[in-house]
Amino acid sequence: MSRQAQAAVLFLLGASLLHAGFTDLYLRYVKVGLRPMLLASGVVLIAAALATVWYEWRARKAAPRHAEDGHGHREPRVSWLLVLPLFALILVAPPALGSYSALRTGTALQQPYGYADLPPEGALRLSLVDYAGRAVYDHGRTLKGRQIKVAGFVALDKAGTPYLVRMALNCCAADAQPVKVGLTGRIPPVLQPDTWLEVTGTYTARQAEDPVNNGPIPFLQVSAAAPVRAPQDPYDETWNN
214: left (phi over 0), alpha (psi -120 to 50) or beta: left
Specify the CATH number of the domain 99-227: 2.40.50
Reported pTM: 0.69
As a whole number of angstroms, the distance between CA 155 and CA 207 comes to 17
123-143 pLDDT, tens per residue? 899 999 999 999 999 999 999
pLDDT of 76:
57
| Domain range list for the chain | 3-91, 99-227
pLDDT of 98:
82
Residues of the chain with pLDDT under 70: 1-2, 5, 19, 24-34, 64-95, 171-175, 236-241
pLDDT of 14:
76
CA atoms within 13 A on the CB side of 54: 6
Q: Which residues lie below 8 Å from residue 117, measured CB to CB, with a gap of 6+?
A: none
As a whole number of angstroms, the distance between CA 213 and CA 215 comes to 5
